[in-house]
Amino acid sequence: MKLLAKNVLVFMLLMCLVGCSSDNEDNSSDNDGTSRELLIGTWTIDETDIIFNEDGTGESQVYVYDDSDEDLQWHRLSWRLDSDVLTINFSVTGTSIFQIIEIDNKSMVLQDSNGIRRNYTKKQG
């Protein structure tokens, strides 16, 4: 009888532990498309723009230096969002991977693999 009571107690404790799951999910960048919807649009940093289209394409403004002249030009890009990881393939400089630290309908903070954070502002309208 003692063995049965002990086994039942162990079983109940195990069931309690299994029933408890981590609730540390970050809903700002979950897989239901919330961050993707927030990402779509035109973002500005240091007076240059980057555009994320719904279809995974976009454009970015890049300074091109020629002798003593600098010119701001548009270049195509493609992008992919996996949870809070944003991968951008720039036509000029190649692929960059960023973690989305914060995003809402007005601002976005991206962090690159070197830990450098970039603060973007969303253009309205």
pTM over 0.75: no
Task: For the chain, give every domain's residue range.
Answer: 29-122
**Cβ atoms of 111 and 123 closer than 8 Å:** no
11 CB neighbour count, 10 Å cutoff: 10
β-bridge mates for residue 45, sequence order: 48
- How would you class 35 by CB atoms within 10 Å of its CB: exposed for 0-12, middle for 13-18, buried for 19 or more? buried
Q: What is the pLDDT of residues 66-105, one digit of tens each?
A: 878 888 999 999 999 999 999 999 998 899 999 999 999 9
Which is more confidently placed, 63 or 20? 63
Which CATH class, in words, describes the domain spanning 29-122? mainly beta
pLDDT value of residue 11: 47
pLDDT value of residue 68: 80
Q: What would the mean pLDDT of 109-118 be, rounded to a whole number?
A: 97
